[in-house]
Structure 1
Amino acid sequence: MNDILIAILLGIVEGLTEFLPVSSTGHLILVGSLFDFEGDVATTFKIVIQLGAVLAVLILYWKRYMDILKGLVTLNFREKNKLNAVHMILAMIPALIVYLLLKDFIKDVLFSPATVLIGLVIGGVLMIIAARAKRNVTAEDTDDISYKQAFGIGLFQCLALWPGFSRSGSTISGGMLLGTSQKAAADFTFIISVPVMLGATALDLWDSREYLTSDAMLLFGIGFIAAFVVAMIAVVTFLNLIKRLKLEWFAVYRFVIAALFFFFLLK
């Protein structure tokens, strides 16, 4: 397949899956394997197009980010029942530490179709457990999330360093197990996605800077735009779906995708 068409396809895949609990990284690895779109340039491409999805959330949630930024600048963290920068920092720290400690292992060992399939299945099981667990919901909205819950969600986010687990799937499941509603966990996941993804993308791009060549810019730009446009639609759609669909449906999808790719890639 032509590289331009592959770039558009992967951009669409990234935009559709980044904020769904199905693992965008896992999907990009699997789809890239199908079209033999692999190697250092392909890896860098997959990093760049994530910025398109980040930009979509930043635009959709800009008022919330301005409130959080205002609180950070004025050091106003004591307003009761108000999501602030401390919540975001607590949710980011665990995964950041684990990533910095295990970055080489994660990239060298876990970024393969086989490990992605394992992550899809185990992550799906976690989502079913979270959906069916009996719990006392103490946070119906993001502003009700406590610092303890934010840090706990951050611990669950560490699971997403294994491609296939899904960052949103891990954090939504973790939030629900820790007493948030599904919608509050999803909202919180979207909000913390920008600093988390910006930080991770910046580190990865620095490591891959030699592949950011002028020859590759057209390919990267096309994938970026496709991811941005589709992510804008996907975020709004997911927020509406999350009010009605249980996590089990996304888990079933993960199992089906894992089975299909097992047949095509590992038979």
Structure 2
Amino acid sequence: MDILIGLILGIVEGLTEFAPVSSTGHMILVGHLLGFEGTVRASTFEIIVQLGSILAVVVVFWRKMLGLIGLKSTAASAQANGGSQMNLIHIIIGMVPFGVGGMLFYDTIKHELFSARTVVITLILGGLLMILAEKLKWKKPATETIDQITYKQAFIIGLFQMLALFPGFSLSGATLSGGLLSGMNHKTAAEFTFIMAVPIMVGASGKDLYESWSSLTSDDLPLFITGFVTSFITALFAIKFFLKLIERVRLIPFAVYRFFLAVLFWIFLL
């Protein structure tokens, strides 16, 4: 049963972590249907599979990641973009709002607002934000590649990213909306969202994993390993597919899907 749960939830996490549909919402709903919820073991499993998805981002964007920490030359990219390129400062600027908000409100949100009712509300609000972003986005985006992103745009995305502190809002949905409203095209906003998610998710997941580590036993390893590997492999394909899909369908179909998911939450969990 552990292997089956690991496979199912690993696939769910890998498919939804970087799409603007709330991976948290899907994990809560599917976990409820599987009867896998409400324990430290279940909460820790969610952290483990998130780390699998994060590793997939590192693999897909490994060249850019190495460039950010100075281990790989990005001179060709800089030359192609008039001497500019995304660097570690962009990531740090984008992380500041989320980091401050996390330090101030993370525990309160996690322990007092982490409920099915909150997820229903944030699924709807996130969907409305995505529709609004599509309606108000720049007709001719000023930023068409990730190396053209400005520090101001990175900060704006960071502000929108704070919305993802609320369970169900979706890190991807919030930052994609911020990217469109700040003048990026869909693919650029998605790529920057994925890369900036790595340090943020590692930090948040690492904190939660540290706090729950003492409750784990060797009996949990089959479940955790299955979930981690499954989410990693699934996310590898999902990221590449989503980058192509988002340019074609935009955000509104995902917003509609969020409303449908909110209805499912209402039926099964409220």
Structure 1 pair 104/134, CA: closer, same or farther in 2 (3 Å)? closer
Which consecutive unaligned segments of at least 5 residues does structure 1 have? none
Shift of the alpha carbon at 1:257? 1.2
Report the equivalent of 1:123.
Answer: 126
Inter-CA distance 59–71: structure 2 relative to 1 (3 Å threshold): closer
Match of 2:52 in 1: 52
Query: Is 212-221 or 158-167 further displaced after alignment?
Result: 212-221
In the other structure, the counterpart of 1:90 is 93
The letter for the 1-side match of 2:23 is S
Quick one: which of 171, 192, 196 aligns to 1:192? 196
SS at 2:50's partner residue? helix
Moved over 6 A (4+): none
What is the aligned-residue identity percentage?
51
> Counterparts of 2:210 and 2:137 in 1: how far apart (Å)?
44
How is 1:1-267 mapped onto 2 (pairs within 5 angstroms)?
A: 2-38=1-37, 39-70=39-70, 80-135=83-138, 137-266=141-270
Contact kept? 2:5, 2:223, Cα under 8 Å: no
Kindly provide the CA deviation profile for residues 196-237 of structure 1, in whole angstroms up to 9, marking residues without a partner as x: 111111111111111232111111111101101100110000
- Alpha-carbon RMSD across the aligned residues, in angstroms, is 1.8
Asked if structure 2 preserves the Cα contact closer than 8 Å seen for 1:33 and 1:113, the reply is: no
Q: Which moved more, 1:236-245 or 1:254-263?
A: 254-263
Q: Is the 8 A contact 1:72 1:84 kept in 2?
A: no
Deviation of 1:142 after TM superposition, in Å, equals 1.0
Q: Do 2:137 and 2:183's aligned partners in 1 also have CA atoms closer than 8 Å?
A: no
Q: Once the two structures are superposed, what CA deviation does each residue of 1:96-142 show, in whole Å capped at 9, x if it has no partner?
A: 11112112211112222221111111000000000111536221111
Shift of 1:72: 11
Q: CA deviation at 1:265?
A: 2.0
- Paired amino acid for 1:93: V
CA separation in 2, counterparts of 1:190 and 1:234? 12
Structure 1: distance between partners of 2:157 and 2:177: 9
Cα shift readout 1:128-186 (whole Å, capped 9, x = no counterpart): 00011153622111111100110110110010011111001000001111111111101
TM-score, length of structure 2 as denominator length: 0.92
Contact 1:44 1:211 in 2 (8 A): no
Unaligned runs of 5+ in 2: none
Cα distance in structure 2, aligned partners of 1:223 and 1:255: 27
Count of residues paired in the alignment: 261
Report SS of the residue matched to 1:174: helix
SS of 1:37 mapped into structure 2:
coil
| 8 Å CA contact retained: 1:71, 1:84 | no
